[in-house]
């Protein structure tokens, strides 16, 4: 018998928080109204996280452990866990307990009402700097204005998805993934559960400024052609400035100004071509790079080892034979 719920938790160097996380999950699972599994996906950790989680998966049949061959990034790690999930409702959550496991109960209540996607929206974000809050708000505003899909503000990847929505998500083959945007794009009935996000229970964030910028850029490029349109308008603006400057130079020449022979035309042409080419080539290069990544058709990830999945299959087979 397959579990009704699957909890997918990507892990990267979370050794400090694992004891608390496991206790909270142990307390949550008996409260669910059906059998559940927890899938930990180790995304190339270099601390003791894989040792702790593999031991738990071997000792407790409710837990599974998936170790990727290297660090592929959080978005891919979540995808690999969802691909192995067997539940009818699959929950994505971070390991740092800023996504409180207890909120899952509220998500399930919404799912029982018939919603296929239930996302958790943060009412507050404890322990985060002003700079991070400001840049996060800016990101959601920009995405809201430029994106082709509706990405709700102050919503991360913490969400519950129905099997129907999950199968639609897994059918999307792109390599450069922006999970929250992809779930917005698939549609279906979506609902929100609001919560106050606490500070990390232990350890330090693994999401550096560089990673956040890369994720934001990935989301914008994946779900909007606004940068291409911006490049077009910027190129037209540069052309207009160059034309205005050319008229200014002609006016100086007609007024009898002492201008060096050939200087005016060279400056105008260089300004026009240089500005237009740099702007438009840079933006086009981003999209061409994405196309290059997609056409190579490399696998999203490689699995080093999986623990607990084969045990679950054996248990199911035994139950079917007994029946």
Q: Which tens digit of pLDDT belongs to each residue from 296-316?
A: 666 677 888 888 877 554 444
pTM of the model: 0.64
Q: What gap in Å lies between CA 221 and CA 147, rounded to an integer?
A: 9
CATH number of the domain at 104, please: 3.90.550.10
Are 156 and 66 within one domain? yes
- In total, how many domains does the chain have? 2
Are 273 and 215 within one domain? no
Instruction: Give residue-wise pLDDT tens across range 238-279.
Output: 777 777 777 776 776 667 666 556 666 676 667 666 666 666
Are 72 and 141 within one domain? yes
What string of DSSP letters covers 165-227? HHHHHHT---SS--HHHHHHHH-S-EEEEEEEEPPPSSS-----HHHHHHHHHHHHHHS--HH
Are 170 and 276 within one domain? no
Q: What gap in Å lies between CA 255 and CA 281, rounded to an integer?
A: 38
Are 62 and 193 within one domain? yes
Are 255 and 198 within one domain? no
* 52-57-58 Cα angle (round to 5): 100
Are 305 and 291 within one domain? no
Are 86 and 126 within one domain? yes
Are 22 and 154 within one domain? yes
For residue 181, name the pLDDT band (cuts at 50, 70, 90): confident
pLDDT of residue 146: 59
Q: Which domain holds residue 172?
A: 5-224+300-322
- Can you tell me the mean pLDDT for 115-143? 69
pLDDT of residue 85: 87
Using a pLDDT cut of 90, give the percent of the chain over it: 2
Are 239 and 151 within one domain? no
Are 108 and 139 within one domain? yes
Are 283 and 136 within one domain? no
Q: Which residue has the higher pLDDT, 108 or 287?
A: 108
Residue 291, pLDDT > 70, answer no
Number of DSSP helices (H) and strands (E) in the chain, helices first: 11, 8
How many CA atoms within 13 Å lie on the side-chain side of 277? 6
| Residues whose CB falls within 8 Å of the CB of residue 282, separated by 6 or more in sequence, listed in order | 231
């Amino acid at each position: 018998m397959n579990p009704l719920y699957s909890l997918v938790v990507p892990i990267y160097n979370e050794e400090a928080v694992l004891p608390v996380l496991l206790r909270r999950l142990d307390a949550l699972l008996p409260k669910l109204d059906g059998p559940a599994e927890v899938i930990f996906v180790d995304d190339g950790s270099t601390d003791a996280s894989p040792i702790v989680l593999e031991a738990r998966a071997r000792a407790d049949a409710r837990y599974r452990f998936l170790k990727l061959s290297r660090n592929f990034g959080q978005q891919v790690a979540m995808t690999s866990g969802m691909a192995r999930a067997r539940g009818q409702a699959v929950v994505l959550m971070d390991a740092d307990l800023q996504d409180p496991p207890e909120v899952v109960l509220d998500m399930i209540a919404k799912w029982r009402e018939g919603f296929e996607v239930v996302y958790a929206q943060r009412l507050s974000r404890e322990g985060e700097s002003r700079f991070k809050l400001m840049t996060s708000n800016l990101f959601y505003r920009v995405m809201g204005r430029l994106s082709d899909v509706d990405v709700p503000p102050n919503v991360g990847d913490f969400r519950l998805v129905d099997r129907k929505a999950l199968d639609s998500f897994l059918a999307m083959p792109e390599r450069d993934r922006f999970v929250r945007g992809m779930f917005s794009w698939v549609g279906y009935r979506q609902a929100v559960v609001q919560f106050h996000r606490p500070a990390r229970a232990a350890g330090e964030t693994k999401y550096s400024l560089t990673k956040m910028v890369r994720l934001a850029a990935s989301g914008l490029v994946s779900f909007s052609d606004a940068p291409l349109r911006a490049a077009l308008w910027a190129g037209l603006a540069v052309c207009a400035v160059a034309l205005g400057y050319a008229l200014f130079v002609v006016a100086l020449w007609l007024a009898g100004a002492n201008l060096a022979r050939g200087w005016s035309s060279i400056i105008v042409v260089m300004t026009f071509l240089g500005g237009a080419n740099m702007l438009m080539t840079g933006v086009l290069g981003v999209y061409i790079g994405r196309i290059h990544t997609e056409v190579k058709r490399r696998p999203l990830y490689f699995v080093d080892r999986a623990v607990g999945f084969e045990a679950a299959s054996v248990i199911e087979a035994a139950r079917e034979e007994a029946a």
